Chain A
Amino acid sequence: EVQLVESGGGLVEPGRSLRLSCTTSGFTLGDYAMSWFRQAPGKGLEWVGFIRSKTSGGTTEYAASVKGRFSISRDDSKSIAYLQMNNLKTEDTAVYYCTRHNSGWYGDYWGQGTLVTVSS
């Protein structure tokens, strides 16, 4: 069974950093591209960033709202994808989801999400 489990969320002050983890099971992480999405309280869904599989170069892309502050990495040997969030702002408050992209580039599996609250 494919599973994605996010962790690492919590309350953090503006300007600080946080690292989220997406622990996967039931499939070989190395074969897949992964994305992070977020959903602010009571709002819609927003794409945050993306990492290609290592065989496709392992490169990353980011939404303009987080570019230069957030970075995505992966440790395929541990089946974990990461979202490093630096210089957090109050508007980054959201539930963060990781997703698996199949060859069709839509997200076929999503984690349950982890809440990040940025507040002083």
Chain B
Amino acid sequence: DIQMTQSPSTLSASVGDRVTITCRASQSITSWLAWYQQKPGKAPKLLIYKASTLESGVPSRFSGSGSGTEFSLTISSLQPDDFATYYCQQYNSYWTFGQGTKVEIK
């Protein structure tokens, strides 16, 4: 099984900050990585797929990068609506998620 490790687990930031979340795969997944945002009591929402492709309708302040085993999600200027938990997910071999990164208000 492919293991996904996210860091940090919690991130405290202010509106307007640039934040970056990293995700590491236990083996190469080329670019088969997605990022999801989840708010309490809600389903995950797709933000990015194929490591760096922005899903339609997702604000351009979100961006993804990486390939192989190292990936990152960056929010260029944090907005009030962005405080949530973020998950990376590999879909190279079945599907596994990172443990999540909670972005909270500083």
Contact of B89 among A63, A97, A106, A113 (CB under 8 A): A106
User: For residues 30 through 89 of chain A, which have their beta carbon under 8 Å from a beta carbon of chain B?
Assistant: 35, 37, 44-47, 50, 61, 63
Report the nearest B residue to A6, measured CB to CB. Answer: B43
Set of chain B residues within 8 Å of A47, measured between Cβ atoms? 94-97
- Interface SS, B side: loop
Residues 87-106 of B, flagged 1 when their CB comes within 8 A of A and 0 if not, give 10101001111111000000
* Size category of the binding interface on chain B: 20 to 34
Q: Is there an interface contact between B44 and A106, defined as CB atoms closer than 8 Å?
A: no
* Size category of the binding interface on chain A: 10 to 19
User: For residues 45 through 84 of chain B, which have their beta carbon under 8 Å from a beta carbon of chain A?
Assistant: 45-46, 49-50, 55
Q: Is there an interface contact between A110 and B43, defined as CB atoms closer than 8 Å?
A: yes
Chain A residues within CB distance 8 Å of chain B: 35, 37, 44-47, 50, 61, 63, 97, 104-108, 110-113
Beyond A45-B44, A47-B95, A106-B49, 20 additional contacts (C-beta under 8 Å) are A44-B87, A44-B97, A44-B98, A44-B99, A44-B100, A45-B36, A45-B89, A46-B97, A61-B94, A63-B94, A97-B44, A104-B49, A104-B91, A105-B91, A106-B32, A106-B91, A107-B34, A108-B46, A108-B55, A113-B43
